[in-house]
Amino acid sequence: MAEIRAENANTGGHAAVDVPSHSAADFIEADDDASDIASTIDDRISSYTASVASSVVDYPVEYGRRYYAFRPGSYLFPNDEREMDRLDLSHSLMVKIQGNRLFLAPLEKDKIRRILDIGTGTGICG
């Protein structure tokens, strides 16, 4: 164990902390050729993630309609512009049926701090 003394900038006092001592074998060398400025998010993505991303955006097209590539068959409907229009129309009809209300839950507006919207359609209501 090694003792390190540090000065507290707020109080001006000193504190001693016991820190375990390490040998040179305990440290991992950082890459010297990589810099934060030259680095981009693409450089940091692993090959596994990059291969998944490229396969997910390669949408299959059947009978002129585009479908999701991620987990084929898990979502049976297309994800093209025609389908987005259908979902938007469905949303508009549901809002009209509910008297132009976006929700039916008895929410107390003064207690609402945040609202989380996850996977609820095309985003037209936002």
- Residue 121 is predicted with a pLDDT of 77
Query: Would residue 71 count as lying in a domain?
Result: yes
- Residue 8 is predicted with a pLDDT of 56
Domain range spanning residue 59?
Answer: 40-101
Query: Would residue 74 count as lying in a domain?
Result: yes
Q: How many domains does the chain have?
A: 1
Query: Would residue 4 count as lying in a domain?
Result: no
Instruction: Enumerate residues 6+ apart whose C-beta is below 8 A from 5.
Output: 14, 15, 16, 17
Q: What are phi and psi of 16, to 5 degrees?
A: -105, 135
Query: Would residue 126 count as lying in a domain?
Result: no
Query: Would residue 20 count as lying in a domain?
Result: no
> CB–CB of 62/72 below 8 Å?
no
- Residue 44 is predicted with a pLDDT of 58
Selection from 87, 82, 89 nearest residue 122 by Cα: 87
Average pLDDT over residues 11-21: 59
**Tokens 């107390």 belong to residue:** 108
**Please, which pLDDT band fits residue 86 given cuts at 50, 70 and 90?**
very high
Query: Would residue 25 count as lying in a domain?
Result: no
SS3 88: helix
> CB–CB of 58/70 below 8 Å?
no
Q: Are strands 2-7 and 14-19 parallel, antiparallel or unpaired?
A: antiparallel
- Asked whether residue 90 carries a pLDDT value surpassing 60, the answer given is yes
Query: Would residue 19 count as lying in a domain?
Result: no
